[in-house]
Amino acid sequence: MTSLDIHQILEHLPHRYPMLLVDRVLECEAGKTIKALKNVTINEPFFPGHYPHSPVMPGVLVIEALAQAAAILSFVTMDTKPNASSMYYFVGIDNARFKKPVMPGDQMILEVELVRSMRGIWKYAAKASVDGSRCAVADLMCSYKIVPAAE
């Protein structure tokens, strides 16, 4: 099992503030699973507008955080890191369900299991929880592609 700090996460994801939604990887087993965390703070840029009197993390960002954890798992599994000639796209969501809201002060645990990888398509079962209570679940699909370098 491998853990990653924020500096190692930045090597495994192309995302940066304000779209980086993984703060630490607690456990990662190549080809199998990842367990990561997102510290949700009141300083997140979406809270002033979602919702001002009762801030809630948008569900699409909970799913995005799970997809970023899945991307880290994929890069660790491939024993590579993103670069200018590769793209990792989030291409599908099935069976997404939101069980409870994620709010400022929560520590969201992201758990993703690799279900299958074939010809550049990766499928995962993902779940997010806070204090042991499930917040969201989804089946995710991502695609890894080598792209021509930009000129």
What residue ranges do the domains of the chain occupy?
A: 2-146
Q: What are phi and psi of 15, to 5 degrees?
A: -70, 150
So what's the pLDDT on residue 124?
A: 98
* Percent of the chain whose predicted confidence (pLDDT) is above 90: 87
Which residue intervals of 2-149 are DSSP H helices?
6-12, 59-78
Active site members: 50
Question: If you average pLDDT over residues 39-51, what whole number do you get?
Answer: 94
Q: What are phi and psi of 141, to 5 degrees?
A: -135, 135
Residue pair 120/145 in contact by the 8 Å Cβ criterion: yes
- Return the structure tokens found at 56: 């809630």
Write down the CATH number for the domain with range 2-146. 3.10.129.10
Dist. CA 54–CA 35, nearest whole Å: 28
> What is the structure's pLDDT at 146?
86
- By C-alpha distance, which of 16, 18, 2 is closest to 58? 18
42 band by pLDDT with thresholds 50, 70 and 90: very high
**pTM for this one?**
0.95
Between CA 40 and CA 31 the distance in angstroms is 28
Q: Can you tell me the mean pLDDT for 93-121?
A: 97
Strand partners, 39: 107
**What does the pLDDT look like over 49-99, one tens digit per residue?**
999 899 999 999 999 999 999 999 999 999 999 988 888 999 999 999 999
